[in-house]
Amino acid sequence: MRTILFLTTLALPLMAQDGGQLYGLYCSACHGADGKGATGGQFPPLAGSEWVLGNPDRSIKIVLHGLHQPIEVAGKTYNLEMPPQGAALPDEQIAAILTHVRASWGNKAGAVSVNQVKKVRAATTNRKEYWTAAELLKLHPLENVKPPLANLISYYYKGAFKSMPDFSQLKAAAVEEEPRGLIDYSSYAKTDSFAMMWEGDLLTPAGKHEFLLDSDDGSRLFVDGAIVAEIKTIGPTGRTVKKVVNLKEGLHKIRVEYFEFSGNEGLSVGVKFPKQRNIKWLSKEKGQTSAKSWPEIMLTPADNRPVIYRNFIQGSTARGIGVGFPGQKNMVYSADHFSMELLWGGNFIDAGHHWTDRGVGYEPPASDKVFSLSKQTAYSFTSESATAWPASSKATPRFRGYQLSPQGNPTFMVEVAGARVFDGYESVTDPSPSLLRILRLQGKPAQGISLLIHSGAHEAARPDGFTAGGLSVRLTGGTFRYGSNVVMLDLITPEAQVRYTW
């Protein structure tokens, strides 16, 4: 179960709320009676957690609307899911629980008032999505937490780089201060073909430091102007380079260079200080610290039927559903974003990590070439460019599950604007090996509805098709609508078919 917090729906009197009693009833099953995380720390601790101290709006928002995707608490990353509780808990109970948490197990933070909860609930009443850690940190940075890198500045460059460019000869398309002090490319990873550079300061003790670098595609790490580690070629993550450097106590100049040509992105930079066992990650992404310790379990279709993989898949959301079709055509459908997000050929998924000792984290597709159809990083039902089902539909889409045909092919169901859309997929060979997507509209929608087919750069745009980085997309039964780095399909016919060939 991917749930951080289990809450019952028992009603307690709304007068004289006892925060400790409420916490024990609703929260301790996962966060522990001692606030250290239940089942030996498998769930995030609340004792000493920087997330529950400081500005109470951060915790209130998590309780009201839930939290998904990775979050780092006390130096450890958790990739679980906490469902929203705003509908189950009244303001008085939320205030009492958070007041108890902020004053227990050594925590020393002020009480949370009912009015504070009411104010946050009113300000976020239209929110339908779970929060992510990244969203909350932008709104409410953690207090009294020193960033990994001081004075960090990022530089972003457009271009199709197949090797590391000479940055001194390029003009940056964007220059940003990075107050979180983390090397993070995600704000710019909406399209392929870009490069980035980061410069900042690292405070170290005296002694030998082990630096780690891994990336998809190439990267370089400099310390005080000297190259420490380098990955020169295009390729996937899993090529970690380690280098020991003897440093004096004090500030040292850190410079990281990175280029992304196509397919997946990835960049992790870390350092292990003297006499320290844990790695201090200087990047948002955390890399592999050692060779994998699990067997390869490569999933493949059996008896000419697709294989389904429901787990965390890199490049999609926590509710990504992977499908490996006969003929080595593979895809991931996001039940959070209500649409197909990834396509690739070749091997499907190595399940060894997740299926061995309950390995956590996101597993990448078993291919170096993956087509990302929706590179948006922030999905919101208030922005047409940021969701597979635009806000112009004036109705929040709802995922209604999926069903399998007798041949094992999946059809996903979305309810939107009073109608249902059946989104089916199958591998075909005529006239060429392709993945065929069949969209069927059932019922009469209250207004026109549209579906995001592709976000990112595209070429050869025609009413019935386009290409994007080696992917050919053709449509029958409708007409594509093109915007700036966006391709939409207005669902106005009972059936439309989209054919993906690569």
Position 81 in a domain: yes
Give bridge partners of residue 230 from the DSSP assignment. Answer: 220
User: Residue 386: what pLDDT?
Assistant: 42
- In this prediction, residue 272 has a pLDDT band, given cuts at 50, 70 and 90, of very high
Q: What is the mean pLDDT of residues 381-391?
A: 47
Position 95 in a domain: yes
User: Within this chain, do residues 489 and 347 fall inside the same structural domain, yes or no?
Assistant: yes
User: Within this chain, do residues 61 and 93 fall inside the same structural domain, yes or no?
Assistant: yes
List the beta strands (DSSP E) in 75-193.
Answer: 76-78, 150-158, 174-177
Instruction: Give the residue numbers spanning the domain of 119.
Output: 19-139
Residue 146 CA to residue 141 CA, distance in Å, equals 11
Q: What is the mean pLDDT of residues 138-155?
A: 88
List Cα–Cα distances, 403 to 161, 317, 341, 412, 422, in angstroms: 42, 20, 19, 7, 10
The CATH number for 169's domain is 2.60.120.260
User: Within this chain, do residues 97 and 177 fall inside the same structural domain, yes or no?
Assistant: no
For every residue of 432-468, DSSP letters joined together read: SSEEEEEEEEES--SS--EEEEEES--EEEETTEEEE
Q: How many CB atoms lie within 10 A of CB 362?
A: 18
User: Residue 134: what pLDDT?
Assistant: 84
Residue 493 CA to residue 491 CA, distance in Å, equals 6
Q: What is the mean pLDDT of residues 152-157?
A: 96
Q: What is the mean pLDDT of the chain?
A: 86
User: Within this chain, do residues 70 and 194 fall inside the same structural domain, yes or no?
Assistant: no
Q: Answer whether residue 276 shows pLDDT above 90.
A: no
Q: Answer whether residue 126 shows pLDDT above 80.
A: yes
State percent of the chain over pLDDT 70: 89
Comparing 40-54, 186-200, 388-402, the range with the smallest average pLDDT is 388-402
Q: What are phi and psi of 133, to 5 degrees?
A: -60, -40
User: Residue 422: what pLDDT?
Assistant: 97
User: Residue 172: what pLDDT?
Assistant: 95
Helix/strand/coil for 113: coil
Query: Length of the chain in residues, anyone?
Result: 502
Q: Answer whether residue 13 shows pLDDT above 70.
A: no
- In this prediction, residue 394 has a pLDDT band, given cuts at 50, 70 and 90, of low
Nearest alpha carbon to residue 269 among 185, 215, 212: 212
- Last residue within a domain, chosen from 139, 158, 177: 139
Buried b / exposed e along 439-455 (16+ C-beta atoms within 10 A)? bbbeeebeeebbbbbbb
Position 489 in a domain: yes
Query: Tokens 């400081």 map to which residue?
Result: 54
Structure tokens at 477: 């039964």
Helix/strand/coil for 32: coil
For every residue of 246-308, DSSP letters joined together read: EE-SEEEEEEEEEEE-SS--EEEEEEE-TT--S-EESBSS---SSS--S---EE--BTTB-EE
Q: What is the mean pLDDT of residues 444-472?
A: 89
The CATH number for 457's domain is 2.70.98
Q: How many domains does the chain have?
A: 3
Q: What is the mean pLDDT of residues 454-458?
A: 87
Position 45 in a domain: yes
Q: What is the mean pLDDT of residues 216-237?
A: 93
- Last residue within a domain, chosen from 109, 139, 169: 139
User: Residue 465: what pLDDT?
Assistant: 96
Q: What angle do CA 248, 273, 216 make, to 5 degrees?
A: 110
* Cis status, amide bond into 463, omega within 30 of 0: no
User: Within this chain, do residues 306 and 260 fall inside the same structural domain, yes or no?
Assistant: no
Query: Tokens 């227990």 map to which residue?
Result: 104
How far is C-alpha 81 from the chain's CA centre?
12
Model's pTM, two decimal places?
A: 0.49
User: Residue 362: what pLDDT?
Assistant: 77
Q: Answer whether residue 385 shows pLDDT above 50.
A: no
Position 71 in a domain: yes
Helix/strand/coil for 121: helix
Position 9 in a domain: no
Q: Is the dihedral of CA 368, 371, 376, 381 positive or negative?
A: negative
Position 400 in a domain: yes
Q: Answer whether residue 54 shows pLDDT above 60.
A: yes
User: Residue 357: what pLDDT?
Assistant: 59
User: Within this chain, do residues 194 and 321 fall inside the same structural domain, yes or no?
Assistant: no
Structure tokens at 326: 């006969």
Residue 58 CA to residue 52 CA, distance in Å, equals 7
User: Residue 426: what pLDDT?
Assistant: 97
User: Within this chain, do residues 113 and 256 fall inside the same structural domain, yes or no?
Assistant: no
How confident is the model over 313-365, as pLDDT tens digits? 888 888 899 999 999 999 999 988 889 999 999 999 988 878 875 656 678 89
The CATH number for 51's domain is 1.10.760.10
User: Residue 289: what pLDDT?
Assistant: 56
User: Within this chain, do residues 197 and 260 fall inside the same structural domain, yes or no?
Assistant: yes
Q: Tell me what percent of the chain is helix, strand and coil, each rounded to the nearest 5.
A: 15, 40, 50
HSE-CB at 165 with a 13 A cutoff on CA atoms is: 22
User: Residue 378: what pLDDT?
Assistant: 33
User: Residue 480: what pLDDT?
Assistant: 94
Cβ-contact 6, 88 below 8 angstroms: no
Q: What are phi and psi of 499, to 5 degrees?
A: -110, 125
User: Within this chain, do residues 486 and 371 fall inside the same structural domain, yes or no?
Assistant: yes
How confident is the model over 68-102, as pLDDT tens digits? 888 888 767 788 888 899 998 999 999 999 999 99
Helix/strand/coil for 145: coil
Helix/strand/coil for 231: strand
User: Within this chain, do residues 323 and 454 fall inside the same structural domain, yes or no?
Assistant: yes
Structure tokens at 320: 């990504």
Position 486 in a domain: yes
User: Within this chain, do residues 120 and 155 fall inside the same structural domain, yes or no?
Assistant: no
User: Residue 206: what pLDDT?
Assistant: 94
Q: Answer whether residue 234 shows pLDDT above 60.
A: yes
- Last residue within a domain, chosen from 104, 139, 174: 139
User: Within this chain, do residues 133 and 155 fall inside the same structural domain, yes or no?
Assistant: no
